[in-house]
Every structure is written in C-alpha cells, then in structure tokens.
Amino acid sequence: MGVLPEGLGAAIRDTAQDIADVLRGAPDTGLPVPRSTWTVGEAAAHLGQANELMADLAAGRPRPYGDGSPQSLAAANEEALAAFPERAAGPLADLILDQALAFLDAVEERAPEEVVETPMGPYDPATLGSYLLTHMLGHGYDLARALGRPHMLDRTRVGLSLPFMVAAMPRVAVPAAVDGLSARYRVRLWGGAGFGVIIEDGAVTTTNGPLDRPDCTVLTEPVAFLLMALGRIDPRPVMATGRALAWGRRPWLGPRFPGLFVAP
C-alpha cells in the first residue's frame, strides 16, 4: 500500500495531464482568466511554480511561502510570478505535468505519518497530496473556462480534495463572519463523503465524517461545492437551482455557510 490513499495518485497525474492538454491548445496565453486579474499565461505559470513547490516539499526541501494567510499567499504568488517570465503554453504545460509527476515520485518516499510543513500549515503526505490536487483543480478550472474547454472536475476528484479542504477550513475562516457565532454544521456531498464544522465564539474546528446533533445539514452537489469553496462561482445561483440544500433545527444557517470562509 502506498503513502497516498487509493485513487489520489491517479487523480493527481490525470488532472495534471488534463490541464496540460487544455493549455497546449491555447491560441493565446494573454487571454484573461474569468474572476481573476491574471492572464492564462500567468495562471499557468503560477500553477507550474506551485506544483514545483509541492514536489520540493514532498522531497523534504523546505520552501517558505507566506504565512498561510490569503494576503501573504497572494503576495508570495505575485513575487514568484515576477521572477519567472515564462508564459508560453508548451513549456508551462510541461512544467505543470512534470512537477506533478515529480511530486508523486517524491511523496512515496515519505513515511505516512510524517509531518510536512506547507504554506497552509503542517500536513501528512496524504493531505499534502489532497492539497496539490485541490490547487490544480481550482486553477485547471480557471484555464479551461478561459480557453472555452471542458473543465476536469468530477465527483471522484472532488471527493479526493476533501481531506485538504476540511483541514484548511479553520485557517481560512473569516474572523468577522464567525465571531460570536455558535453553530454545528453537517456537510454532505451528493453520493459521497461528509464532514462536520463546529463554530463556537470565533473558534472553528472540523471533523472527518458526519457530525452528530448538527444545527444545520448542508447537502451539496460535489463540483458546485468545490467551486464555491474555492471562490470560483457565486453560491446564490447554486442554492437557487437546488444544487445546495439546507435543513435542520436552524436551517437559516445554511445560506450563511459559504460566507464563513475565504478561498484558500
């Protein structure tokens, strides 16, 4: 049995390949990315750099990169992009894929319980792999949308992103939104896994698996869940079209849930 959970290694490899294929068909890497200030070339360069960073972390090479806050990560991203001028589709596609494969080679040399320091905190290798996949899915979606190509998100890949998403939630909670709030959420994905979120007076904790005695249960279509969590789509149309439902003792907490967190 490998270090990564079943299916995660294949999802990382196949997602990187899908992104590389989308990028190689780009007619112009200067096209804008929707809901972003970046061009296709800049987003692809960032993704290639991020995959390289993850491969280095998996190989035991520390890479300081901000302090984990959204603001510091954004600043580190811009600084790294300024120092890396490549914007051509072919080389960037190769970089994204090669570094994802380098990650897979390196991570299998780690002990399953080993702690790896990352820009979002300390994670074991399996959660680090989930982090890499989640990051690629978010930016892969951006690139596909900018280039008018089908995106590479599906139920299985979103399910494999959950370990990172659940682990990262306390770090990306919006202080003003959770301050003074007491709430217990059970979050479930259609046909998939669930997790719990407990908010008590500004402190956020998460649980793997369903939460007993929730105030509010949120049931969400998997791809919509990830895109909302990563700030790629507006939650309101998702709720209005029934792709996210809420019920329980305090069902009004459901529409508040997406606004409690900022995209990592």
CATH classification (class only), 170-260 = alpha beta
Q: Does pLDDT of 1 surpass 70? A: no
- The three-class DSSP label of residue 146 is helix
> pLDDT for 173-187, tens place per residue?
999 999 999 999 999
Q: What is the mean pLDDT of the chain?
A: 95
The pLDDT value given to residue 233: 95
> pLDDT for 60-70, tens place per residue?
998 888 777 77
> pLDDT for 9-64, tens place per residue?
999 999 999 999 999 999 999 999 999 999 999 999 999 999 999 999 999 998 88
Q: Where are the domains of the chain?
A: 8-152, 170-260
The pLDDT value given to residue 158: 97
Specify which residues 220 forms β-bridges with.
189, 244
> What architecture is domain 8-152?
Up-down Bundle (1.20)
Yes or no: say if 216 and 251 are a contact pair by the CB < 8 Å rule: yes
Pairing of the two strands 216-220 and 182-189: parallel
In this prediction, residue 196 has a pLDDT band, given cuts at 50, 70 and 90, of very high
Kindly state the average pLDDT of the residues 244-262. 96
State both tokens at 211. Answer: 């939460």
174/154 Cα distance (integer angstroms): 28
> pLDDT for 90-104, tens place per residue?
999 999 999 999 999
Q: What is the pTM of this model?
A: 0.96
